[in-house]
Amino acid sequence: MRLARHVRDEGPIDPTCACEACRTVSRAYVRHLSVAGEMLGAQLTSLHNLHFYLDLMAQARTHIAAGDYTAWAATRIEAIEAGEGA
């Protein structure tokens, strides 16, 4: 988030995420907070990261129960590596 390319980026941290940080603030704002050393930047980033991992684990549990975890995991890893929903 500290990269210069986010200076004017009004999009959410992750467009596919439904966390409070992604719904309410822009990448530019989070970058500004981070560069300025404001704790809120770290808090918003942490909120997003926790939401991401909690959602990822919920999806994994669902796919384990459905018996198709291996296929789902391979697809999910490819998507994350491609920068989709990470």
Gap between the Cα atoms of 36 and 52, Å rounded: 25
pLDDT of residue 1: 67
What tens digit of pLDDT does each residue of 45-86 get? 999 999 999 999 999 999 999 999 999 999 999 988 987 765
Phi and psi at residue 56, to the nearest 5°: -60, -45
Q: In the predicted model, is pLDDT for residue 2 greater than 80?
A: no
Q: What is the pTM of this model?
A: 0.81
pLDDT of residue 84: 77
pLDDT of residue 80: 85
pLDDT mean across residues, the chain:
91
Gap between the Cα atoms of 26 and 60, Å rounded: 28
Contact 47, 41 (CB under 8 A): no
